Structure 1
Amino acid sequence: MQNSSAVTAIAPAPSEAALAHFEASMRFETDCSDVHDALVVKGQRDFVLLDVRSPALFAAGHVPGAINLPHGKIIASKLAQYAPETIFVTYCAGPHCNGATRGAIRLAKLGRPVKIMIGGVTGWLDEGFALATAAEARPQAPGAIRPLATSPAHE
């Protein structure tokens, strides 16, 4: 009798349980490739991408189309211009950073739909995607964030 590997020592979940688990996880996260495809390739702006790092890190390089709102500054008044159903996607430096999770928690506490972009800036660069810099960022009023979507709910 052959010994099991670490991979097969515990049997996989039944297909129905696996489907429920993986579909549920997609309700909480998206990845860099999906964000790139939506924003850069297809120009779909049906969510607001928040870079929750510091303004200095944002200025040094961020995902194109992202808005800088550090996780500690996510409050109701900064989100007032967005319809309640606006979907927010947070990201930070990468897998070693919990800023995206902290930002997602704050958004969820404010009753906002939210997902995390897994991988953050590290994942974005690993995919071979370019970062934008402060010189390329759209001007914003101090303390304000602007909707990315062009639907009537975001105008």
Structure 2
Amino acid sequence: MNFRSEPLKLCQLIVQRDAAYACVVELGKYSLVQFKDLNHQLTTFQRTYVREVRRCAEIERSLRYLENEVLEGGATDHIPNLDISNADVTPMRDIYVLEAKLFEFERDFRQFLANEAQLKRNYNDLKQCKCVYEKVEAFFKV
């Protein structure tokens, strides 16, 4: 069964590796292209752009982690709504810059959480010592 309104034509697009990203972005803006996998015999890890896909997956994981932490902290007002009307594709060099900043932010945030946990432990230890000192003082006053 063919549910398409127009007949399809199979074309082969051969572009230089450096221009492939920009070409796919421009073709994707028109939403008139369907890509066919000509390397179906390759496993996922043998694909050409597997590193870029992994990087994007790591960025997505990091964003999900930070979003969950913000939501758990009760700061839901600080998460802006997603603008889906702007479908511009970000150049890879901008994604690399974003990735570096995001991972640095995540590292700093994890360090902040570790410091907070350590401060809470120290506070509880000091509070416990204070309580012991007060009990000892009360014991010897009698």
TM over 0.5: no
TM-score (norm 1): 0.24
| Higher fraction of helix | 2
User: Which structure is higher in RCO with an 8 Å CA cutoff and minimum separation 6?
Assistant: 1
TM-score (norm 2): 0.26
